[in-house]
Structure 1
């Protein structure tokens, strides 16, 4: 009897330990989703829905379940842009998943695509789609001509459309009740620029909205001399990929095309409800686009991470603070739209949803996490227009 009791207690303890480990993994936001295989667009090459190197566009799909079976979330990942023949050619040959699908391996969904109900409470059981970013122009280009020497294709717009068309015809996406387009960084910009277009594919859905994470790149006209690189960079992207024709005409009819690659000039014209998730201390914009000297200059390495800020000079810290002022001023220059959601943190970060390790340390504003705030906004439980005015300096967010 005693031995049986010991075995029973040991078994119970073992179960309890396993349960604690499982619960802790949920609390920590660890990825427990199974691997998802890549799906290549059917007839992608024939349709011209191809990456920079001519490989077919692709996506990852996870089936929805329970009451999420008729709801859809489509994710556009980041990865910056390419802006010249040489730059795009290098991108197309480099195994970094941003110019080709030749090396597309199975992957697990995370953050807003996760099936983990604790870290993704409102969207965990939706149909989930991640479209591979491999065109270098935020899914905006559609150039028919192919360079006979480099064999480079600029067809991201076709990839975006072909994936949605395939999901509508083969996965019943056309019956969607609710749909959400979300992206981070270059994918966040893509989300802004493609938001109304996404809605047009789902005219019968009850609720269609968009979330841009770290996609609100500012021109920084209130930062004298600091944003020449950003303007030049975006101008080269727009010119090389011939985006003028596809950028919102409501903007290009009044401004030069390169200015219409900056969200501040197109957000007011977007009819579909849009949520802006961003930091007013956006590390990518500060380190890559704002720093007066070249980012390769080791003197500006101090701006790369929160921990490295201690190495910055007073002048460099002043530039960082000037960025926040310019960012908030740009944001405040937008029309007052009650359907627009805002979650502007002061964490010293770039994207939140694009990097799984960031999710555990999701910042809070008004006692709401990013997940809770976006869920409240999407389902119209509350108006969500949160801006961190409390912190005037960059802050460190746990896990980020």
Structure 2
């Protein structure tokens, strides 16, 4: 559990220090009031603007503040008496740090850009759009108008000449960055490089501890109260109910603008409010666990790990598209790009010596495509992982040029003679103890005669199979996938299941099923020997994966000893 302990240690550092670059004064957008673009209480929207300089004079980053949502009149009335509902209560100055930082040593790629922090005062992730105002409560649901008024004001102040631009945000503001991303792209010059960054805004349509989805009903109330439906991406609302379009996993597949997601697999807000919301935890069994994972029982940790699996599946639209990027760490945290300590500090989250700042910068400028396989650390029933994806893209049209950098590539096969009699005997003995229904580590296995030097039109022959009926023609997509060698960037199909690779090693890789109907999920271990590919399929999550790996390795080792 060392990785998680490291994250907790980092969070203590972050809580103890806020590294800023000097106070940036507030700008009240009084001209927006006449347009009806106002906070919940009717006050003017506001933002903080630190002007760019030098090579960054025509580069812009617009960062939207987070702060949850209000779902009914009572919670919105309470909110309008705070800085999250009224600019009257906002602090007049704000210290910029992290992705907005103005110091080259802590924010090397964006320090001299025009940097703007848009204050959040509408409670709808900048999507509210209700014309009428009830005189009894005097609440204004105008978040979408606030967003557009701020953008129009920035365009007049020079953003219309942008060469590079990023729309970003934290939490509810990060969700807004996703929802408004394509519109932001459309407003700016066609020649500009425009991308979006979401920090802790990838709220998933997940199941809670009761088996239901409390978060769906919660978002449904937000959308209904604020009249958000007309402001959500039409590409999504034309295909499903508006409240579902508050979930990034349903919006991102239709996005055209490049997106980078920064998120914690064990997102602290989502564990508290998506997995174990107070309204569902009637007996308060999760009260301490959801605040501190070190205080969770073994059963609760298993549930938390299951939530991480839900997160991984929901993130599929991000890591399955070349123009998008993902930095997913194992911290129990929420919003990690707002301080220099977590953005680029020595004790902040990093993967293979890659910090968040470097990952985002590399992705934005297309400097490198990087895939760092999942790393696992185990203690009792726990397993935590870190994944980072980056991409190299040419422009908004989606033409992609990419090169992959793998620590170790899958070994090439070596041609050799096959002892079919030995393979038959070894297979029969192996499947008897390892493949079957309950009590066995694997539910099915396929052994494929495979020579990567042959053209893809020559179908591989199935040497053996158990627990599954699959024909050679059905393996063509899989063998073509293997020959192309783009393991980190593509998915593959076996039977009726689609898989995405989660870790790559010297002569094997692991994958998870994207369209599973199993509560605990399904996985695959694919091992290569000199002339065979062994595909081992299993049901379950981390513990099951370990058993499946051991079983597959047992048979692959027998083949390797015979140079097969």
TM-score between the two structures when normalised by the length of structure 1: 0.85
* C-alpha distance in 1 between matches for 2:240 and 2:97: 38
Name 1:242's counterpart in structure 2. 227
Number of residue pairs the alignment of both structures matches: 363
- Show the counterpart of 1:286: 271
* 296-305 or 133-142: bigger deviation: 296-305
Alignment partner for residue 247 of structure 2, among 226, 240, 262? 262
Residue 197 (str. 1) matches residue 187 (str. 2): no
Q: Give me the whole-angstrom Cα distance separating, in 2, the residues matched to 1:76 and 1:362.
A: 22
1:39 and 2:27 matched: yes
Deviation per CA, 1:101-140: give whole Å up to 9, x if none: 0022211111111111111110000001010100000011
Distance 2:109 2:319 in 1: 28
| Partner residue in 2 for 1:336 | 320
Native 8 Å contact 1:180 1:209 kept in 2: yes
Unmatched 5+ stretches in structure 2: 1-15, 387-564
Matched residue SS, 1:59: strand
Equivalent residues of 1:363, 1:370 under 8 A apart: yes
* 8 A Cα contact 2:99 2:338, kept in partner: no
Query: As a proportion of its length, which structure holds more helix?
Result: 1
1:393 aligns with 2:383: yes
Q: Structure 2 residue aligned with 1:64, among 47, 52, 60? A: 52
Q: 2:109 maps to which residue?
A: 122
Please report how far the alpha carbon of residue 355 of structure 1 lies from its aligned counterpart in structure 2 after TM superposition: 5.3
Decide which structure has greater strand share.
Answer: 2
The 3 A distance-change label for structure 1 pair 133 and 255 is same
Q: Quick check: 373-382 or 225-234, which moved more? A: 225-234
Bigger Cα displacement from structure 2, 349-358 vs 98-107: 349-358
Q: In 1, Cα distance between the equivalents of 2:178 and 2:325?
A: 13
Partner Cα separation in structure 2 for residue 67 and residue 141 of structure 1: 37
Task: Specify whether residues 316 and 122 from structure 1 end up closer, same or farther in structure 2 by C-alpha distance, changes over 3 A only.
Answer: same
Post-superposition Cα deviations, 1:243-277, rounded to whole Å, max 9, x if no partner, equal 11121122112211111111100101111100011
Deviating more after overlay: 128-137 vs 317-326:
317-326
Asked if the contact 1:343/1:387 (under 8 Å) is kept, the reply is: no
Unpaired segments ≥5 residues, structure 1: 1-27
Partner of residue 306, structure 2:
322
Q: Distance in 1 between matches of 2:330 and 2:190?
A: 38
Displacement of 1:68? 0.5
1:335/1:275 CA distance change after superposition, 3 Å:
closer
CA shift digits 1:193-245 (9 cap, x unpaired): 01011112213342000000111111125x67345221111111111111111
CA pair 312-29 structure 1, distance change in 2 beyond 3 A: closer
Q: CA RMSD in A?
A: 2.3
CA distance in 1, matches of 2:78, 2:282: 18
CA distance in 2, matches of 1:198, 1:343: 23
Q: Deviations over 1:142-186 (max 9, x none)?
A: 2111111111001111111111111111x2111111001111110
Contact 1:348–1:394 (8 Å) recurs in 2: no
Higher RCO, Cα 8 Å, sep 6+: 1
Report which of the two structures shows the higher radius of gyration computed on alpha carbons.
2
